[in-house]
Structure 1
Amino acid sequence: MESLGRSSTSRCECEYASLAVESTAGTDAYEQDFSMAQLANNLHNGNSSSVADETGTLFHSAGGSIQACDRVAEQLLGYSTQQLVEMTIADFMGRMICPNGSAIAPDDFPAIVALQSGQPCRNVLGFQKPTGERVWICFNATPLFQSNASTPDAVVTTFSPVANAASLLPITDRPVIDRSEQRFRQLADSLPHIVFAARPDGSITYVNRFAQEYTGLGDELLNQGWAECIYPDDRDRALATWMQAVHSGEAYEMECRFRKADGTYRWLLSRGLPVRDGDGQIVEWVGGCVDIDDRKQAEQALQASEERYRAFVQQSSEGIWCFEVAPISIDYPEDEQIQHFYQHGYLFECNQVMAQMYGVCAPEDLIGVRLADLLVPSDPRNLEYLRAFIRSNYRLVDAESYELDQQGNPKIFVNNLIGIIEDGKLVRAWGSQRDITDRKQAEAALQQSEERYRYLVETIPQLVWTANANGVLIDINQRWSDFTGLTLAQAQTEGWEAIVHPDDIATLNHKWEVAQQEGYYRAEGRIRRADGAYCWHLHEAIPLREQGEVVKWFGTATDIEAQKQLEQQRQALLEREQAAREQAETANRIKDEFLAVLSHELRSPLNPILGWSKLLQQGKLDATKTANALAAIERNAQLQSQLISDLLDISRILRGKLNLEAMPVDLGAVILAALETVHLAIEAKSVQIQTTLPPTVVTVNGDAGRLQQIVWNLLSNAVKFTPSGGQITVELQQLDYFAQIRVIDTGKGISPHFLPHVFEYFRQEDSSTTRKFGGLGLGLAIARQIVEMHGGQISAENRGEGQGAIFTVQLPLAPASSRSPSSASTSTATDDLTGIRILVVDDETDSREFVAFALEQAGAIVTAAASGAEALHQIDRSPLDLIVSDVGMPDMNGYVLLQQVRESKLAKQVPAIAVTAYAGEFDRQQAIAAGFQKHISKPVDPEVLIEVVRSLIQ
């Protein structure tokens, strides 16, 4: 059995122990705290981190009994944990034998030896398993200590099977194992460093387990193989140092870089000692190598840091200094410390820049100068500077000091400093400083300039601003803020576009881009006032440059709102004048065109009327020609009458005097009546009429006469533009809530450019002297107005060039409760006025004789009067049944005549009819108000006159 604690060590062991202690300096001690309960628990649960696949572990208490074991121990020994724990140490040892077959003594069991000696112990013993099988096991016992304990409190025994006991016996003729060598190797393998042994000639004979793991090599390290692991640049030096030690027989120490298993090189500290026999002869070398790479890197970093520091101090653009001070407690009052600084503080170190700041050539000329000779004690700002240094725990950043250079010139420095405290006392201060004297003087001058500038910008009437090179606001005057209602922060956040009128942003942006090239900004634009209103301003700005580069823009905004309003008023006045002139010119042109057309349209019917009248007076026409002549005269007279009616209707519409007599109206009857009116024109052009009417009555609320006028206008228009042999379709439909009339023709159609104007007054697609179709261009305009007065709408669409047009009228249906339609009359009056006594009053002979003749033809007894006075005379002479009177007469008009008639006894109740050329709605209402029962406009249709007379008499 081998026990390092019980056997006396050889000289080699002592030498190596000394080397190992030196090599492990700074590492953890071998002894360490441990938890028995935790260790026992780990072993019991198989969690021991020290157990290999074929290595069992036993945990012994201070008395030697087994407290725990792992699963491998159970397998190797054949007993369960419970059985092993219940065994006494004597029972456990009773199952063992020594390699020579004898029973073991307590000194043979490694755990007992380790507990007694406090040293690790190893031995090979035989153990008898419960099955009777004997196994040979190598036991290794390691004592465990609590902190600061001198005796072990427990032992951990690791063990593994060996092939047989003979494998552990010494070489031939060596009956006992070389325990010294075993102890040496056991100690060497336990260290976390490289350990080696060599012959006297320097050939390596042994390396420990750590060396093999560190390099990843085994026997390759023996003899001179270790040299291959040394960094090439260090190899020759390392070999020379080793061989010099071998030749001199003296211990050595060297540093070199050594290759690890991963191929990296690390610095090692290698030490070697010679082992001598009793005669002083070297019998062996032992040594070790400790990894010092981290230390070397730290030393190199420190060296580099020192070099950088020196380079920084010498090359820095700032003054670097160190003031030494006689140590003073930091607990002293501030004023005492400050007084001490001034009396016992002096410059200990500085760089060249620092020396130049104080007007000397070299740092040596400044070192040793007292603080009081540099930092002016009488300046209260310096007292505050030192107080701030103390109050900030002796650390100060960007603090200003007011000093004197060696020529007595005032200087201003900005300092960064830190005090060094040792044992509660301030001993020195390190710091840096920059000379800001020129900057401070410039700032003072700038401040004066800024004050003058601020006074200027706050007194001028403009809005003043400054912006950086990119146009971002950096300053505004109070007038700018008051006008916009924004602070500088708000303006910077929202941007200048927030106050510019949206319509002006593009212009101002473009002007700004131009200004970047031209170096001057000028633009007009509206900016928003605080109350939300926009006002015109003239914006001007110039760039401020430094070294040729624009650094900011200085600009103003001048209020030009009043000027702009005058310009706008002038412009508006000019535009109104131009528009009025254009309107007048257009109106004059339209008027001229209208008058030309009107003259043409009025004169054209007069030509056949006058011509045929002359021929009839000559009496040379036969019966056929006479009938043709009379038909032509009637046709053209009706045409003139319709022209006059259209003009009067337009006049009423434009003055808002066109009234409707609304009642339920059957639209089918209205269409038939309108067709009856134009049937002669239709027949004359051989145009086919196709009428589509619903089987039920379609009723609307409206004026039957005006509705018939709408249809008649559309039909007349269709007949006019439809060529001979063409077709006109009239449709009536009752839709959901309205009635729809469509007039479709196969004429020339409506050109696209004229279609939007087809319902405008006095508009004709062709108003030239070469036009094919006559008319004043009023019919469709009148139709549109009447339709809209009925709450409906009218539209036109083109079917295509030469394919005709479609006119659509939509009218709201009458409520179901009021649908009792009255039809448009298509019947003619009968000539049954026999015996009716009628007085006809008119100052125009032709008109008076025409009316009298028409009434006489119907059987009436007619008395004619040429004036109002004559009419009153006739009334007094004979009784009357009816009065038919003109209104516009000289001396006494029709209104005055009727007033006097109503005052007489004989004709007070006699009905009266006003027959006049005053055909307006107002004229009709005025006639009714004056006492007339009916109003008939000239020219008078005999049939209409007779029908009206009959209605009054009946």
Structure 2
Amino acid sequence: MPSLPTPSADPGSDGLPSDQLFFAQAACALAVTNADGLILRANATACRWLGYDNDELVGRLRMPDLLPIGARLFHHTHCLPILQVMGSVAEIQVDLRNRQGERIPMLINIMRVVDEGRVFDQWALFKASDRRAYERELLIARKTAEAALEARQGAEAQLKALNEQLSAADRRKDEFLATLSHELRNPLAPMRSALDVLTMKLKGVADERLLSAFDRQLRHLTRLVDDLMEVSRITQGRMQLQQEPVELTALVQSAAQDVTPLMQAAGHTLRVSALPPPVVVNGDATRLAQVILNLLTNAAKYTPDGGLIDLSLSCKEGHAEIRVRDNGIGIPAEALGSVFNMFSQLEPALERAQGGLGIGLALVRGIVKLHGGTIRADSAGPGKGSEFTLRLPLVAETVREQSPQSDGPAAAGLRVMVVDDNQDAAETLTMALGMFGCEVRVAHSAEAALDIAARFTPQVALLDIGLPDMNGYELARRLRGMPAMAQAVLIATTGWGQEKDREMAFGAGFNHHLTKPIDFEQLRRLLASSM
């Protein structure tokens, strides 16, 4: 038999209810009759409500005779075509009395259907009292749902507002780090230049231990500033790698040389074990060197004076493995999973004077992840040392040979203009360029630079960006507009070192972008390539 459709009211003038009726499906008596009303099938609920056994009902009694309204029901029916089935539906609320004379307030729904030429009526009886209870439950459920919806909407609004506040706070944090880095680099630049000049002038003359101490601490401070910027880039997803085949043996040995002064100052023994070249990975050599230096610096920092630190490079299962192991303060087992988190600090580390900012290992993990590698920390516990294992996928490419670096003047006779409103920075940079053999002119403003450029026609111009009268980007564009400067090499020298700052510099016509404090060896190579 076809199933009953959803009951609907007949809105005619015969007194039938015109509103949609709801009822409790659980309290439903069903019966099927032929066209004459003879009961052919009935469920247990129908038998119980009407007060008859199933055998008494089926095939013996007519449904209309059991109801007070009798055949009048069919007077109120109307036909509805449902596919190939002809049905009639009526819905009436009546007072039914069963065989025992008990009154049952009922809601009756009848549907007439035609199945293979045979006519049947489907009767559905619902207790009116159940209907009212059901409607009350529906009302309560609806109010509860509406209240829950309002609460959810309020919670979502609060969450949205909180997310906006957190996003704004995160942007302010990034802006603060960028500004802090810029402001710290400004005084670092003349200090770096002055130290390099002193080193070149006093080499072999004065006691180099003093200069080495200055150099060591200045490099450490510069590295902290760089780490702040790198972490900010990683958290914003804006770090871009300059990837190329990198030979790790040379990189590891170079990193070991860079930390030699730090190891010697603490009385540490640094043992280096590296496979012979080539051990090649695809990556950013500068970033990978930064990772190794951070691991070595951490090992030196958290190992008592006179400690032993091992740096090794090996290959295993298609990966290069770099291990840094020390016999220092160690890491508690419960902290091994959090040492790479931002601003993570261990209690033993906090007790040491060189506790640090807690960003170095977070930076290491971020850079390694960008290279498709992994980093893991292991320790037997407090006081038992630590080991950090870095794994990077190997590639089978050969590495371009590096041309040897010259220690002598590489830019003799090169005309260079230095533009910087920081007089200390300009003066120390000028001294260094003079020792390279360059002919130098200095300007402390953009207008002065334009005047000098017209008379001096420099081959190279090093321009600060934050000038008092005109920013360095506009100055670069103005210089490019001068016929004599069309082919000059313009180098941005600035404390702003984010990727967007580099893009703005290149867009303004700069050939190179150097972040303060300037690496003099890098500057020497740029000047040599400009000859």
Q: Which residue pairs with 1:458 in the alignment?
A: 131
Q: CA deviation at 1:902?
A: 1.5
Q: State the Cα deviation string for residues 70-123 of structure 1 (Å, max 9, x = none).
A: xxxxxxxxxxxxxxxxxxxxxxxxxxxxxxxxxxxxxxxxxxxxxxxxxxxxxx
Instruction: Tell me if 1:890 matches 2:474.
Output: no
Q: Which residue pairs with 1:904 in the alignment?
A: 482
Q: Which residue pairs with 1:486 in the alignment?
A: none
Q: Indicate how the Cα distance of structure 1 residues 917 and 774 shifts in structure 2: closer, same or farther if over 3 A, else same.
A: same
State the secondary structure of the residue aligned to 1:660. Answer: coil
State the secondary structure of the residue aligned to 1:689. Answer: strand
Match of 2:336 among 742, 755, 773: 755
Q: Which residue pairs with 1:560 in the alignment?
A: 144
Match of 1:861 among 411, 435, 439: 439
Instruction: Tell me if 1:838 matches 2:416.
Output: yes
Identity of aligned residues (%): 34
Q: CA deviation at 1:459?
A: 4.5
Q: Indicate how the Cα distance of structure 1 residues 559 and 445 shifts in structure 2: closer, same or farther if over 3 A, else same.
A: farther
Q: Is the 8 A contact 1:664 1:700 kept in 2?
A: yes
Q: Is the 8 A contact 2:412 2:438 kept in 1?
A: yes
Provide the aligned length of Structure 1 versus Structure 2.
397
Q: Is the 8 A contact 1:462 1:558 kept in 2?
A: no
Matched residues in 2 for 1:670 and 1:945: separation? 20
Q: Which residue pairs with 1:446 in the alignment?
A: 102
Match of 1:660 among 238, 241, 256: 241
Q: Which residue pairs with 1:684 in the alignment?
A: 265
Q: CA deviation at 1:893?
A: 2.0
Matched residues in 2 for 1:736 and 1:453: separation? 74
Instruction: Tell me if 1:638 matches 2:245.
Output: no
Matches within 5 A, 1:718-797: 718-766=299-347, 770-797=351-378
Match of 2:508 among 917, 922, 930: 930
Q: Is the 8 A contact 1:728 1:745 kept in 2?
A: yes
Q: CA deviation at 1:763?
A: 2.0
State the secondary structure of the residue aligned to 1:891. Answer: coil
Specify which structure has the bigger relative contact order, considering alpha-carbon pairs within 8 angstroms and separated by 6 or more residues.
2
Q: Indicate how the Cα distance of structure 1 residues 769 and 741 shifts in structure 2: closer, same or farther if over 3 A, else same.
A: closer
Q: State the Cα deviation string for residues 753-781 of structure 1 (Å, max 9, x = none).
A: 32222111222224997543232111111
Match of 2:494 among 889, 908, 916: 916
Q: Indicate how the Cα distance of structure 1 residues 779 and 695 shifts in structure 2: closer, same or farther if over 3 A, else same.
A: same
Q: Indicate how the Cα distance of structure 1 residues 829 and 627 shifts in structure 2: closer, same or farther if over 3 A, else same.
A: closer
Q: CA deviation at 1:844?
A: 1.3
Q: State the Cα deviation string for residues 345-394 of structure 1 (Å, max 9, x = none).
A: xxxxxxxxxxxxxxxxxxxxxxxxxxxxxxxxxxxxxxxxxxxxxxxxxx
Counterpart residue identity of residue 101, structure 2? A
Q: Indicate how the Cα distance of structure 1 residues 726 and 914 shifts in structure 2: closer, same or farther if over 3 A, else same.
A: same
Counterpart residue identity of residue 373, structure 2? G
Q: Is the 8 A contact 1:673 1:824 kept in 2?
A: no
Counterpart residue identity of residue 297, structure 2? S
Q: Indicate how the Cα distance of structure 1 residues 569 and 445 shifts in structure 2: closer, same or farther if over 3 A, else same.
A: farther
Matched residues in 2 for 1:876 and 1:581: separation? 51
Matched residues in 2 for 1:785 and 1:828: separation? 34
Matches within 5 A, 1:389-428: none
Q: CA deviation at 1:925?
A: 2.5
Q: Indicate how the Cα distance of structure 1 residues 573 and 754 shifts in structure 2: closer, same or farther if over 3 A, else same.
A: farther
Matches within 5 A, 1:458-497: 458-462=131-135
Instruction: Tell me if 1:647 matches 2:225.
Output: no
Matched residues in 1 for 2:471 and 2:400: separation? 36
Q: Is the 8 A contact 2:216 2:261 kept in 1?
A: no
Match of 2:250 among 652, 669, 674: 669
Matched residues in 1 for 2:350 and 2:294: separation? 23
Q: Which residue pairs with 2:453 in the alignment?
A: 875
State the secondary structure of the residue aligned to 1:733. Answer: strand
State the secondary structure of the residue aligned to 2:323. Answer: strand
Matched residues in 2 for 1:581 and 1:838: separation? 48
Q: Is the 8 A contact 2:303 2:327 kept in 1?
A: yes
Q: CA deviation at 1:458?
A: 2.6
Q: Indicate how the Cα distance of structure 1 residues 868 and 564 shifts in structure 2: closer, same or farther if over 3 A, else same.
A: closer
Matched residues in 2 for 1:449 and 1:722: separation? 89
Q: Is the 8 A contact 2:104 2:127 kept in 1?
A: no
Q: State the Cα deviation string for residues 911-942 of structure 1 (Å, max 9, x = none).
A: 12111111222212222222222111111233
Q: Indicate how the Cα distance of structure 1 residues 569 and 820 shifts in structure 2: closer, same or farther if over 3 A, else same.
A: same
TM-score, scaled relative to structure 2: 0.66
Q: Indicate how the Cα distance of structure 1 residues 442 and 832 shifts in structure 2: closer, same or farther if over 3 A, else same.
A: closer
Matches within 5 A, 1:505-544: none
Matched residues in 2 for 1:825 and 1:721: separation? 37
Matches within 5 A, 1:220-235: none
Q: Indicate how the Cα distance of structure 1 residues 768 and 739 shifts in structure 2: closer, same or farther if over 3 A, else same.
A: closer
CA RMSD of aligned residues (A): 3.8
Q: Is the 8 A contact 1:727 1:746 kept in 2?
A: yes
State the secondary structure of the residue aligned to 2:526. Answer: helix
Counterpart residue identity of residue 317, structure 2? D
Q: State the Cα deviation string for residues 145-173 of structure 1 (Å, max 9, x = none).
A: xxxxxxxxxxxxxxxxxxxxxxxxxxxxx
Counterpart residue identity of residue 850, structure 1? T
Q: Which residue pairs with 2:61 in the alignment?
A: none
Q: Is the 8 A contact 2:410 2:527 kept in 1?
A: no
Matched residues in 2 for 1:826 and 1:923: separation? 31
Matched residues in 2 for 1:693 and 1:769: separation? 33
State the secondary structure of the residue aligned to 2:333. Answer: coil
Q: CA deviation at 1:858?
A: 1.6
State the secondary structure of the residue aligned to 2:346. Answer: coil
Q: State the Cα deviation string for residues 25-81 of structure 1 (Å, max 9, x = none).
A: xxxxxxxxxxxxxxxxxxxxxxxxxxxxxxxxxxxxxxxxxxxxxxxxxxxxxxxxx
Q: CA deviation at 1:398?
A: 9.2
State the secondary structure of the residue aligned to 2:484. Answer: coil
Q: Indicate how the Cα distance of structure 1 residues 771 and 799 shifts in structure 2: closer, same or farther if over 3 A, else same.
A: same
Q: Which residue pairs with 1:813 in the alignment?
A: 394
State the secondary structure of the residue aligned to 1:560. Answer: helix
Q: CA deviation at 1:720?
A: 0.8
Q: Indicate how the Cα distance of structure 1 residues 830 and 706 shifts in structure 2: closer, same or farther if over 3 A, else same.
A: farther
Matched residues in 1 for 2:142 and 2:100: separation? 32
Matched residues in 2 for 1:752 and 1:837: separation? 60
Q: State the Cα deviation string for residues 529-551 of structure 1 (Å, max 9, x = none).
A: xxxxxxxx97xxxxxxxxxxxxx
Matched residues in 2 for 1:752 and 1:582: separation? 36
Q: CA deviation at 1:833?
A: 2.4
Query: Unaligned 5+ residue runs, structure 2?
Result: 1-54, 58-96, 108-124, 199-204
Counterpart residue identity of residue 562, structure 1? E
Q: Indicate how the Cα distance of structure 1 residues 825 and 682 shifts in structure 2: closer, same or farther if over 3 A, else same.
A: farther
Of 893-902 and 711-720, more deviation after overlay is shown by 893-902
Q: Is the 8 A contact 2:310 2:324 kept in 1?
A: yes
Matched residues in 1 for 2:412 and 2:164: separation? 63
Q: Is the 8 A contact 1:720 1:773 kept in 2?
A: yes
Counterpart residue identity of residue 812, structure 1? P
Counterpart residue identity of residue 436, structure 2? A
Match of 1:694 among 248, 264, 275: 275
Matched residues in 2 for 1:778 and 1:825: separation? 35
Q: CA deviation at 1:579?
A: 8.2
Matched residues in 2 for 1:768 and 1:723: separation? 11
Match of 2:284 among 698, 703, 711: 703
Matched residues in 1 for 2:240 and 2:445: separation? 32
